[in-house]
Amino acid sequence: MSHSIRIKLTPERITSLQELQSITDTSFKDISLLHLAFVHRSFANEDSDRYLSDNERLEFLGDSVLGILAAEYLYKSLPKGKEGILAKLKSKMVSAPAIAKLARFYRFPDFLLLGKGEKEKGEANLNLQADCFEAFLGALYLDQGLNSCRIFLTPHFQTMEKGVESAEETKDYKTILQEYCQKKWKKLPEYILLKEEGPDHDKDFSVSVSCENYFQSNGDGKNKRRAEQMAAKAALRILKLL
C-alpha cells in the first residue's frame, strides 16, 4: 500500500472505513489515505514494523486546508466584515473545541486507532478529536482536492458562523454601557440611526452612540438592535471596559 503503510487492511477494517465514508458522505479513491488519517502515533509506534507513518503529516496538511477554507468562507460570507472581525470569527470556527465537535458529529473517535497507553487516557480527549478531524481533511484534500473539502466544510461553517453570532448577541452591551454611564456621569447614552440601506430582506443599519462629549462610536448590523449592540460594544472598548 502507498502512503508509508506496510499493511494489508483486514476485511473488518475495510468494512469500518466503508461505514466511515457513508457517515461523512465521501468516497475515497485511495482508502489507505483514509485509513492513515485515523492511525494515531501511539498506535503506529506499537506496530512500527508494519507502520512507517501515522496521521500527523495529514493533520499538518489538514490544518492549513481548514484555515484557508474558513478564511475564504468568511471573506465571501461577510463582504463588509472588517479584518479584525473576520480574524476573530475564524479563530473560533477553527478552534479545537469547534473542530472536536465536528469529529464527534461524524463519530471519528469510534474509528481512531490508538495505542494502549493513549486509550487509557480516554478517547474523549478534545485535542485527539480535533487532530483526527484535521487529518481526515488532509486525506480528503490529497484524495479529491480542495473543492471537495470546501463542499464538505461549508455547511458546518454556516452553522458555526450563526452559533458565534448568537453567542455574541447574548451579551447585552447596551445595558452594560447604560449602567456605566448612569453611574459615571448620571447620563444615558443616546443612539442615532445614521444609515439604513439595502432591500427589505437584506438591510444594513449603521448606528451611532454617544454620551454628551465623553465618547462617540458607531456600529453596524443586519437590524437596528444588532447595530446598537455593536455601537455599544465599540463604546465599551473606547472606555476600556472590554
Looking at 150, 169, 188, the residue that finishes a domain is 169
What mean pLDDT, rounded, does the chain reach? 88
Same domain? 149 vs 194: no
Q: What is the pLDDT of residues 169-180, one digit of tens each?
A: 557 899 999 999
Task: Please tell me which residue, 20 or 121, carries the higher pLDDT value.
Answer: 20
Q: How far is CA 232 from the centre of its chain?
A: 26
User: 165 with 189, same domain?
Assistant: no
pLDDT at 164 over 80: no
pLDDT band at 233; cut points 50, 70, 90: very high
Q: Which of 210, 239, 198, 205 is nearest to 223 (CA)?
A: 205
Q: Which of 154, 142, 133, 112 is nearest to 3 (CA)?
A: 142
Same-domain status, 131 and 190: no
Domain CATH for 19? 1.10.1520.10
Per-residue confidence (pLDDT) for residue 1, from 0 to 100: 42
Tell whether 197 is covered by a domain: yes
pLDDT of residue 44: 86
Residues 199, 90: one domain?
A: no
Domain boundary among 110, 138, 169: 169
6, part of any domain: no
* Overall average pLDDT of the 42-69 stretch: 89
- Annotated catalytic sites, by residue? 63, 134
Count of the separate structural domains present in the chain: 2
- Which of 169, 197, 220 corresponds to the end of one domain? 169
Same domain, 101 and 28: yes
Q: Which of 9-13, 34-38, 94-98 is predicted least confidently? A: 9-13
Amino acid 7: pLDDT: 66
pLDDT at 148: 97
Give the least confident one: 43-57, 62-76, 222-236. 43-57
Tell me which DSSP letter residue 55 carries: S
Exposure string for 206-221, b = 16+ CB within 10 A, e = fewer = bbbbbbeeebbbbbbb
Q: Are 134 and 149 found together in one domain?
A: yes
Do residues 41 and 134 both lie within one domain? yes
Same domain, 31 and 101: yes
Do residues 133 and 233 both lie within one domain? Answer: no
User: Which residue shows C-alpha cell 474509528?
Assistant: 111
143: confidence class by pLDDT, cuts 50, 70, 90: very high
Residue 216: band (very low, low, confident or very high) from pLDDT cuts 50, 70, 90: very high
Whether 122 shows a pLDDT value over 90: the answer reads no
Which residues are known binding-site members for Mg(2+)? Answer: 59, 131, 134
Q: Which residues are annotated as a binding site?
A: 59, 131, 134
Q: Is residue 5 part of a domain?
A: no
Q: What is the pLDDT of residues 52-64, one digit of tens each?
A: 789 999 999 999 9
Indicate the pLDDT class of residue 9, thresholds 50, 70 and 90.
confident
For residues 118-143, average pLDDT: 86
Give the CATH number, domain containing residue 179. Answer: 3.30.160.20
Contacts of residue 100, defined as CB under 8 A and 6 or more positions apart, other chains included, come to: 126, 127, 129, 130, 133
- The answer on 156 and 105 residing in a single domain is yes
Structural domain including 126 reads: 11-169
Q: Give 145: exposed, middle or buried? Use CB within 10 Å, 0-12, 13-18, 19+.
A: exposed
Q: What's the rounded Cα separation, in Å, for the pair 183 and 211?
A: 13
pLDDT of residue 5: 55
